[in-house]
Amino acid sequence: MPWTPIEADSDWPLYVSVYKRIRHAIRGGLVEGKLPSKNQAAKLLSVSKVTIEQAYRQLVSEGYIHSRPRSGFYVNPGFMQRTPQNAARDEADFPPQFKSEYCFDLSTYAVATECFPFAVWSRLSRQLLSEESDKLLNSTPGKGILALRQQICGYLQNYRGVRAHPEQILLGAGTEWAASIFNLLFTRGQRFAIENPSYSKVWRILSAHGRDILRVPMCQDGIDLAALQKAKPDLVHISPAHHFPLGLVMPIQQRLALLKLAEQMDFYMIEDDYDCEFRFEGRPIPALKSLDGDERVIYLNTFTKSLAPSLRISYMLLPRTLLEKYERELSFYACTVPGFQQYVLARFMGEGHFSTHLKRMRRVYKDKHDALLEALRQSSLGKHLEISGEKAGLHFLLRLKGELNEAEMLSRAAAQGIKLSGLSEFYSPKINVPQATVLMGFAKLKPEELPELISRLQNAWSMP
C-alpha cells in the first residue's frame, strides 16, 4: 500500500524512497485524484514533513502531480495501469542525482575552458610541425623531453622556491602514472599513509596495486603529526599548500615539524602541489620542498588546473636517493605523454606564455570566486551558510545549517540541474565527517549564470 510507514533505504535518500513509492503507485493506478496533505502524508509514512515536501516537489517537476492553491496536490490524469514488466523496469530508474548532463557543473576537476590560449597554442603547434618535424617523429626519452624538464625547473625555482636539476624531473600522464611510479619505487611491505580526507583517486590506485593504505586524520594545521607518528609510514601523501578537500594551508611551524619527524622516522613524503598557482589572499605559499634539506620530499604537480585536464601532463621531482633507484630499476619505462604535446608546452613556457596565462587566470578565478561568495551571502540562504577553505584553490566548502543532510543537499541540487560533490566522499573511513557540507567548484561558472544558479540553489535548499 502506498500510504503505509516506509523504511529508509541505505542506497537512496529517504525522500527518494517516498518519491519512488508514490510514483510507482500513480503509474500503477493505485493513487488517483487528491493526495494526502503534507502533514497527513508525513504521519502515514512516518517521515518528516520536509521529506514529503521534497518528494512532492520532485513529482510536480516530473509532471505526475500538480498543486492547486489552498487546496492541495492532485494526480495528473492519463496514467494507465502498468504491466508487471514495465513496473519492474520503473523500479530500476535512476533518481535525479545520477544525471549525466547538468545545467551547472560545480565539480572540482573543471577549469575555465573558455580562457584556454587556443590562438597561441595552435600557432606554436604549426611552427613545430614546420620547423621540428624530425624531432616530433622520434621516440621520446623515458623521463620526457629535456627542453620541457628544463622549463619546469625554471618555473619551480621562480614560483615555488624549489631548486632542481632537469635529470630529477619525470614527466607522465596523470595520477595513474604517478601512483604507479610510487608503487614501483617502494617495495612490498613498506607502509603508505595518506591524509583523511584526501583526493580519493590516489589511495584507490595504490589499493588496486594491492597496497594497504594507512589513513591519518587531519587537525586544524594539517596532517595530525601524533597520529602520523603512530602509523609508522614509509611514504606519506600530503597537500600542504592547499589541502584537498578541506582547503587548509599548513603553517610553517607544522611544516618544519613534519620535516623533522620524517628525518627522525626515516620516511618520504609526496608533496601534491596540484593547484598551488591560485591563492586569493597574500602571496603564494612556498612549497614544502623548498625547505627540504634532507631530501625527504617527492614533489608532484600537474598542468591540469593551470592549463587543461585533457593535456594529461604531470611531473614529479625525485630526491637524489630515489633518483638513483629509478635510474637503476625503472629507467626502461617509456614516457606516457606524447612528444608533440611536450614540445609545444616547452615552447609555450619558454616564450613566456605560461606565466602570462597564469597571471590572467588568477584574475579570472578570483573574480569568479568573489562573485559566487557574494551572491551566496546576499541570497536568502546567506544566513544559513558557513563557508571555509575559500582563500585558495578552485573550490571552497559550503555547510548548510538546518534540517537537510549532505545526501539531501546533493539530491535536491541535482534535481535542479546542479552537479556537486559531498565532503563525505573523500573520507575513508567516514569518521568525524562535517555534516551537511559540499564542495563548491567555481572554475566553469560564468558571471551571467550566477542569478540562475543562485535561484536554483534557493529552490533546492529552501528552509522550511
Where in the chain are the domains?
14-91, 104-110+357-461, 140-348
pLDDT of residue 96: 47
Tens place of pLDDT for every residue, the chain, 464 residues? 688 888 776 556 788 888 888 988 888 888 888 999 999 999 989 888 888 988 888 888 777 888 888 889 999 887 654 444 444 444 444 444 444 467 888 988 888 888 999 999 999 999 999 988 778 888 899 999 999 999 999 999 998 999 999 999 999 998 889 989 999 999 878 899 999 999 878 788 888 888 889 999 999 999 999 999 999 999 999 999 889 999 898 999 999 999 999 999 999 999 999 877 887 776 667 899 999 988 999 999 999 889 988 888 999 999 998 999 999 999 999 999 999 999 999 999 999 999 999 999 999 999 999 999 999 999 999 999 999 988 888 999 999 998 899 999 999 999 888 999 999 999 988 888 999 999 999 999 988 999 999 999 999 998 65
Cα gap 277→357, rounded to integer Å: 11
Q: How many CA atoms lie within 13 A of 129 on its CB side?
A: 7
Eight-state DSSP code of residue 153:
H
CA distance 258 to 291: 11
- The pLDDT score that the predictor gives to residue 212 is 85
How many CB atoms are located within 10 Å of the residue 34 CB?
13
Which pLDDT score, from 0 to 100, does residue 92 have?
Answer: 45
Question: What pLDDT score was predicted for residue 77?
Answer: 80
Q: What is the assigned CATH class of domain 104-110+357-461? A: alpha beta
Q: Closest Cα to residue 51, out of 384, 400, 404?
A: 404
pLDDT score at 101: 65
HSE-up (13 A, CA, CB side) for residue 461: 31
Domains 104-110+357-461 and 140-348 share a fold: no
**Can you give the pLDDT at residue 90?**
46
Per-residue pLDDT at 68: 87
**In 3D, which of 213, 104, 115 has the Cα closest to residue 460?**
104
Taking the CB of residue 352, how many other CB atoms lie within 10 A of it? 9
Please say whether the beta carbons of 376 and 385 come within 8 A. Answer: yes
Pairwise CA distance, residues 334 & 177, whole Å: 11
| 3-state SS, residue 170 | strand
Rounded to two decimals, what is the model's pTM? 0.76
Q: How far is CA 86 from CA 27, 126, 214, in A?
A: 10, 56, 47
pLDDT at residue number 345: 97
Residue 433 confidence (pLDDT)? 92
Q: Does domain 140-348 have CATH number 3.40.980.10?
A: no
Instruction: Give the pLDDT of residue 86.
Output: 45
Is the distance from CB of 369 to CB of 387 less than 8 angstroms? Answer: no
Instruction: Confirm if 436 and 406 have CB atoms less than 8 A apart.
Output: yes
Quick one: fold of 14-91? Arc Repressor Mutant, subunit A (1.10.10)
Question: Residue 433 corresponds to which cell in the numbers above?
Answer: 565527517
